Amino acid sequence: MSKVVILGAGIAGHTAAQIVKRKLGRKHEVIVISPNTKYQWIPSNIWVGIGQMTAKNVTFELAPVYKKLGIDYKQAKATALFPEGDTDISRPYVAIEYTGHYKLGQTDKIEYDFLINATGPKLNFGATEGLGPEGYSESVCTYLHAGHAWEKLQLSLDKMAKGEKQRFLIGTGHPTATCQGAAFEYALNVAFEINKRKLNDMAEITWITNEYEVGDFGMGGAFIKKGGYVTSTRIFSESILSEYGIKWIKRAGITKLEQGKAHYQTLDGEIHVQDFDFAMLIPAFAGVGIKAFAKDGAEITSDLFAPSGFMKVDADYKPKEFEDWSVADWPSVYQNPKYDNIFAAGIAFAPPHAISKPMTNKNGLAIFPTPPRTGMPSGIMGKVVALNVAERIKTGSKEMKHKASMGKMGAACIISSGYGLRDGMAATMTVFPVVPDYEKFPQWGRDLSYTMGEPGLAGHWIKLVLHFMFIYKAKALPFWWLIPE
């Protein structure tokens, strides 16, 4: 019997757990280790942050689902990896610390034959002074954060209804933050709620971003087909912001927040302050901080993890100029190069380089987006890793038949505003591949047959349908495996 241990129960980890257990059945053991009791469908946190959904709509308890599937679930966080075992335990194991009330603070050692790291990121609010719900800004990165954001947003809406103008600042809260898409969507939803209440004259909404051009989204921007014409995501995004009456500040890195004030630098080295009454700003991401040790106790964290804390996989991490990187640098099976029974999926893996060009201002501050790896790509990675692990266990072959390079993977993004069947609008965008391939597609970097964008109500309906469909899938309800990632 083989034992598969999965760290994390987000989109990548939960997908991997469901699939690997379905493929392996009762003959093999699958263990999920997560500090959280609930699964959350993160894309819908945006609706929680504007009061159109609650935590109950985007979450469910993990334990009953895993019990039904025959998966062992431990509410704990991984603290250290021992991929060679140690002087007391000969097999590889992960050290954990329980986070549930009945075992809070207790530690354990969980042995494994295969390990899938899908911890996702640490929300590194501390990288920007004053950032986050414990500081002076809001977040929608978790359902709890999103619920808190809605509470604060209501206060601003009430003040506007009483004749007090409010300034909203939404975007990236760190010079190298990612997830511009989530912040962009939240900005549109805030604007929609304000418009619905006919309070536009009382609001000033500003989009602030570390992107060189609006619409970069951490993937170097894109050219898309729209209505038979080719246009840039910059034009596409700027037109949507303009339609919603949202101003924008680009090429900006926020360095500090105070009450009602955001300090930021621009790529030209200028230092500014932006006033606000309400701010929702995405933090920097980092690895969760797992250490690694050899059999003799020597620390080998750098063998498994990049300096960012994300896990090294089958990517080309050799230092090179941005202009020299290749789509071939990106991983395809997400396997650690030193320990072939360890994998990382979703945000947990370390990208080989930025997709958007790294830029630094004259003050030495780097201002550019880091690569996105959330949503649809995370689910696909989780599935591919699970399939390869299951086949290796069942056949003994080390051949990795299933691959999912972001340089050969497409992705769909629906940025929706509003809620309901008759109200709302969505900007629907697909790109193929996520990482541009200028060797295969020298003119645009992507295949324009599959890279397109279109605003409208239909995309909004799709967003609603996808919410319920993916919650259904994650709950492992009948025929869940027929729903694609």
The answer, yes or no, to whether residue 201 has pLDDT greater than 90, is yes
What are the sequence ranges of the domains in the chain? 3-123+285-395
Q: What is the mean pLDDT of residues 391-398?
A: 95
Q: Please give the pLDDT value at position 225.
A: 75
Q: What is the mean pLDDT of residues 131-160?
A: 98
Strand partners, 413: 429
- CATH number for 3-123+285-395: choose from 2.40.160.20, 3.40.50.970, 3.50.50.100, 3.30.70.20: 3.50.50.100
pLDDT band at 458 (very low <50, low <70, confident <90, very high): low
pLDDT band at 231 (very low <50, low <70, confident <90, very high): confident
Tell me the per-residue pLDDT of 346-365, one tens digit each, with 9 for 90 and over: 999 999 999 999 999 999 99
Tell me the per-residue pLDDT of 404-445, one tens digit each, with 9 for 90 and over: 999 998 887 777 777 766 676 777 778 899 999 999 999 888
Strand partners, 34: 75
Q: What is the mean pLDDT of residues 170-187?
A: 96
Q: Please give the pLDDT value at position 344.
A: 98
pLDDT band at 31 (very low <50, low <70, confident <90, very high): very high
pLDDT band at 393 (very low <50, low <70, confident <90, very high): very high
pLDDT band at 70 (very low <50, low <70, confident <90, very high): very high
Tell me the per-residue pLDDT of 298-320, one tens digit each, with 9 for 90 and over: 999 999 999 999 999 999 999 99
Q: Please give the pLDDT value at position 374.
A: 83
Q: Please give the pLDDT value at position 457.
A: 67
* Averaged confidence pLDDT in the chain: 94
The answer, yes or no, to whether residue 2 has pLDDT greater than 70, is yes
